[in-house]
């Protein structure tokens, strides 16, 4: 059994999608449709930069989704395969959950792009620059990370944002609390704490204004049932009902990305092969969480051809 998975923020880079678009008219159509939906030259920004503009949350989120969906569409249309026949689940890390829903037909491409543009803008606006921060804890399991976050909070927000794999947890909250946590890592048996170069403290209660904005936007958005269930970040469990999907996407803005648990749950449900589209971030996490699973990253035409041989 196979799951198709989709990366989150941080997997963007200048030049993304360029080679794929040069090689495939299918990919070019995806990038053009996203440009048209957003009314901006996002693909030009993806391929030419500048990097600072691409890294802005409101640009990075739809760009990462567009690149992932373009990669999948090339596989499907030029390889003659259907997602519903090759995957039993889809899942994505944070914004990647939107990519997964688009891939599985729960949202069309234009709707997904517009929602992610809004999501990026709302997340950026939720907390003034400089008030929030995030840090990666390396060599930390979820229990140690939670204890550290609780100790460092001192009345401020400091919480686990991403449970990525058995050795990497990300915390998020007020800048002072996150800096205290980084300084205290050794006391909790954690190898290292690294402040992340992010513009806002994602997946923590400080994001409530963004969650409110997404609740309003998702209420009006066309969301249908996916052709295969999607593993919701906040549940680490599969859902298919459109009302559930809307609610979980709202919760996800302030809630924890339970990626390690999602991988283990899919593996326990019989998934032995994980295929990541448009990035090379999630496959290594999968291998660290479920060492007996196969995990492949699909970015280039060569990657697509190699994966097709395995189908």
**Contact (CB, 8 A) for 156 and 173:** yes
Q: Would you call 174 a catalytic residue per the annotation?
A: no
Reply yes or no on whether 240 is catalytic.
no
Give the C-alpha separation, 253 to 247, whole Å.
11
Assigned CATH class of 132-198? alpha beta
| Identified catalytic residue from 11, 24, 94, 172 | 94
H-only helix segments in the chain: 18-23, 25-38, 42-48, 51-55, 57-79, 83-86, 96-103, 109-126, 142-153, 175-183, 208-220, 242-254, 259-268, 282-289, 301-310
> pLDDT digits over 21-34, tens only?
999 999 999 999 99
**pTM tops 0.85:** yes
- Among 11, 174, 199, 203, which one carries the catalytic annotation? 203
Neighbours of 250 (CB within 10 A): 21
- Express each pLDDT in 241-299 by its tens digit: 999 999 999 999 999 999 999 999 999 999 999 999 999 999 999 999 999 999 999 99
Domain boundaries, the chain: 2-126+206-310, 132-198
pLDDT at position 309 = 87
Instruction: Note the pLDDT tens digit of each residue in 164-199.
Output: 999 999 999 999 999 999 999 999 999 999 999 887
Mean pLDDT of the chain: 96
CATH architecture of the domain formed by 2-126+206-310: 3-Layer(aba) Sandwich (3.40)
Q: Is the pLDDT of residue 1 over 90?
A: yes
Report the DSSP beta bridge partners of residue 277: 298
203-224: pLDDT as tens digits: 999 999 999 999 999 999 999 9
Q: Who contacts 167 (Cβ-Cβ below 8 Å, separation ≥6)?
A: 138, 139, 140, 141, 288
pLDDT digits (tens, 9 = 90+) for 117-151: 999 999 999 999 889 999 999 999 999 999 999 99
Residues 6+ positions from 240 with CB-CB distance below 8 Å = 225, 226, 229, 230
């Amino acid at each position: 059994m196979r799951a198709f998975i989709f990366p989150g923020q941080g997997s963007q880079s200048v030049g993304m999608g360029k080679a794929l678009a040069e090689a495939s008219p299918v990919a070019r159509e995806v990038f053009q449709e996203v440009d048209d939906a957003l009314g901006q030259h996002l693909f030009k920004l993806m391929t030419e930069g500048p990097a600072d503009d691409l890294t802005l949350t409101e640009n990075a989120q739809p760009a990462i989704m567009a690149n992932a969906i373009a990669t999948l569409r090339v596989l499907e249309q030029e390889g003659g395969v259907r997602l519903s026949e090759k995957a039993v689940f889809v899942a994505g890390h944070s914004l990647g959950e939107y990519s997964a829903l688009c891939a599985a037909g729960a949202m069309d491409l234009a709707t997904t792009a517009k929602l992610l543009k809004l999501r990026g803008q709302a997340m950026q606006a939720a907390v003034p620059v400089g008030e929030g921060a995030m840090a990666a804890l390396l060599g930390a399991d979820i229990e140690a990370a939670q204890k550290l976050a609780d100790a460092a909070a001192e009345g401020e927000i400091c919480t686990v944002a991403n449970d990525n794999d058995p050795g990497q947890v990300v915390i998020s909250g007020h800048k002072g609390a996150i800096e205290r946590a980084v300084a205290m890592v050794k006391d909790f048996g954690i190898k290292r704490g690294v402040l992340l170069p992010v513009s806002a403290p994602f997946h923590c209660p400080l994001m409530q204004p963004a969650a409110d904005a997404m609740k309003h936007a998702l209420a009006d958005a066309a969301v249908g049932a996916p052709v295969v269930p999607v593993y919701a970040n906040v549940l680490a469990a599969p859902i298919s009902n459109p009302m559930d999907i809307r609610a979980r996407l709202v919760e996800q803005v302030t809630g924890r990305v339970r990626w390690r648990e999602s991988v283990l749950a899919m593996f326990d449900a019989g998934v032995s092969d994980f295929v990541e589209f448009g990035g090379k971030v999630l496959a290594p996490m999968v291998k660290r969480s479920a060492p007996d699973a196969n995990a492949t990253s699909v970015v280039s035409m060569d990657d697509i051809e190699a994966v097709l041989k395995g189908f």
